[in-house]
Amino acid sequence: MNEYHKKHPLISAALSFIFPGAGQLYNEEYSKGIILIAAAIASIVSIVYNGLSMGNEIMNGAALPQTPFILRIITSALIYFCLWLYGIIDGAVCAQRLSNQSFATAESEAPQPQTKETFIGLGVVLVVIGILGILNLLGLKFHLVIKFGWPVAIILLGFYFLAKSTGLLKGDK
């Protein structure tokens, strides 16, 4: 059954208000939803880990917690807030766009399921989580992966967008 399902923007926004990515899952944008959920969970884990580390330091007799712990908590909280806000806005806008589309009459005009994109997004998330798990088992600290890994990730993402926009990737228009 290839037909558009009307989505209500308030339901999508409310689900994203509860947790980033839930509204995208409601809109059937699975890869975007999974990525938002994984990023939100990572930022929550970072907040909790740094909060516990800071509390442990205070319990061991430090008069004031070290600034890096406070900065990491603030940075992770800002990242979570941005993900949360993006999830709410994007969920409502995409639900509105989906509900405004007319039902397709011919099968060729019907939207194709995004199974390929969903599996690619899920695959990327699982590979990244697996690599981080292996690095953690090898003794590499998670904050070092974030500290040195995000510039590499941004560069790779930039190359991907450049290759996609110039048509260097196979199958792109």
Region 76-87: mean pLDDT is 86
Give per-residue pLDDT as tens, 61-81: 656 666 677 777 888 888 888
Task: Report, as an integer, the average pLDDT of 151-155.
Answer: 74
Q: What is the pLDDT of residues 13-33, one digit of tens each?
A: 899 999 999 999 999 888 888
Looking at residue 26, what is its pLDDT?
92
Tell me what pLDDT residue 19 has.
93
Q: At what angle do helices 67-100 and 9-18 cross, to 10 degrees?
A: 160
Measured in whole angstroms, how far is the alpha carbon of residue 20 from the centre of its chain?
8
Calpha distance 22→90 (Å, rounded)? 11
pLDDT given at position 121: 61
